[in-house]
């Protein structure tokens, strides 16, 4: 009876756009005590848009934008896509760019060093910039600084809105006393703002890609059976560490490959349905 129940459950789920790579994962899903989510592309649409741009009066704004465009053309980060779209610019300069994972980009142009990236990786930031950063981050925006030879000379804010159904999915898990955590490489302030908007229990921010998996292991120790939901290459180790790794179907191939369950539409309401079914299923089996 057990086998036929799980088989029919698996195919039933497949019809609803959820692929489970084995029935064990479904029963694990039904038993989770904690669930962690990546931010960009998982809770949010993963398509940020530039909302604010600010440069010092001391620099030539047009030239700076050209430099930013040239550098971001070398990146395939969602922030890069958004910045290129905003400026609709053609790439005028050929800048050799180093991609510092989890931090941003660095390049040299006309003997000057330019960096674009995460506020925490810059020193000597003026009060004015820190205030703008805080103000924008409090709205849940991601802020990146731009520096020229160690001087921060501009900032760009980007907003990525939550997907439909995200808030309801979080509410559902919380109503069952399942601990919900946001894990993000983004800043503490931005992470907190998003977590508050969506009602998550906990937020762990400034996480470097290589540390996501260690955090999942901590959650397992603390709470018990833990699921991780993610979409990116940098989520892959955490998806593997989790008792149940869940990938967004439109996520990167690596995330889909290493996960146990794939949500074919990028829709967290599918996850809620799967959890309900998984719980019912474990009642039938036991």
* Partner whose footprint covers residue 79, from ligand ADP, Mg ion, none (CB < 5 to 8 Å by kind): ligand ADP
**Interaction mask 25-54, Mg ion, x per CB under 5 A:** -------------x-xx-------------
Count Cβ atoms within 10 A of the Cβ of residue 21 and give its class: 0-12 exposed, 13-18 middle, 19 or more buried.
middle
Decide if 216 contacts 241 (C-beta within 8 A). Answer: yes
Q: Which residues pair with 244 in a beta bridge?
A: 227
Could you say which of 40, 133, 241, 259 contacts ligand ADP (CB under 6 A)? 40
CA–CA separation, 187 and 286 (whole Å):
44
Counting contacts by CB under 6 A, is residue 205 touching ligand ADP?
A: no
Nearer residue to ligand ADP within complex by CB, 63 or 121: 121
Binding mask 227-266 for ligand ADP (x = CB under 6 A): -----x-x--------------------------------
What one-character-per-residue DSSP string does 125-172 give?
--HHHHHHHHHHHHTT-EEEEEEETTEEEEEEEEE-PBPTTHHHHHHH
* Interface characters, 66-105, with ligand ADP (x: CB under 6 A): ------x--x-x-xx---------------------xxxx
Q: Which of residues 157-186 bind ligand ADP (CB under 6 A)?
A: 184-186
What is the spatial distance between Cα 223 and Cα 118, in angstroms, rounded to a whole number?
A: 31
Using CA atoms, how far apart are residues 261 and 16, in angstroms rounded to an integer? 13
For residue 107, list its beta bridge partners. Answer: 97, 114
Select from Mg ion, ligand ADP, none the partner in contact with residue 117, using the beta carbon and a kind-dependent cut-off of 5 to 8 Å: ligand ADP
Task: State the minimum distance, in angstroms, from the CB of residue 78 to Mg ion.
Answer: 8
């Amino acid at each position: 009876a057990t086998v036929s129940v799980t088989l029919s459950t698996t195919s039933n789920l497949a019809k609803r756009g959820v692929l489970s790579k084995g029935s064990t994962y479904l029963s694990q899903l039904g038993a989770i005590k904690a669930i962690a989510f990546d931010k960009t592309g998982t809770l949010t649409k993963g398509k940020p848009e530039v909302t604010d741009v600010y440069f010092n009066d001391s620099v030539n704004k047009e030239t700076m934008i050209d430099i930013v465009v040239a550098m971001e053309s070398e990146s395939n980060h969602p922030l890069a896509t958004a910045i290129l779209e905003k400026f609709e610019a053609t790439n005028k300069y050929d800048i050799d760019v180093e991609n510092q994972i989890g931090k941003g980009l660095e390049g040299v142009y006309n003997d000057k060093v330019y960096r674009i990236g995460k506020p925490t990786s810059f020193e000597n930031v003026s009060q004015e910039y820190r205030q703008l950063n805080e103000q924008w981050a409090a709205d849940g925006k991601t802020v990146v600084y731009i520096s020229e030879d160690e001087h921060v000379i501009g900032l760009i804010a980007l907003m990525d809105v939550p997907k439909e159904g995200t808030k309801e999915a979080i509410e559902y898990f919380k109503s069952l006393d399942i601990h919900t955590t946001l894990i993000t490489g983004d800043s503490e302030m931005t992470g907190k703002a998003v977590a508050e908007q969506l009602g998550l229990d906990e937020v762990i921010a400034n996480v470097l890609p290589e540390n996501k998996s260690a955090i999942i292991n901590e959650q397992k120790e603390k709470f018990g059976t833990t699921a991780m939901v993610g979409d990116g290459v940098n989520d892959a180790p955490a998806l593997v560490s989790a008792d149940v790794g869940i990938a967004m179907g439109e996520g990167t191939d690596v995330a889909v490959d290493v996960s146990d369950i794939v949500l074919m539409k990028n829709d967290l309401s599918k996850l809620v349905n799967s959890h309900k079914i998984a719980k019912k299923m474990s009642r039938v089996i036991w």
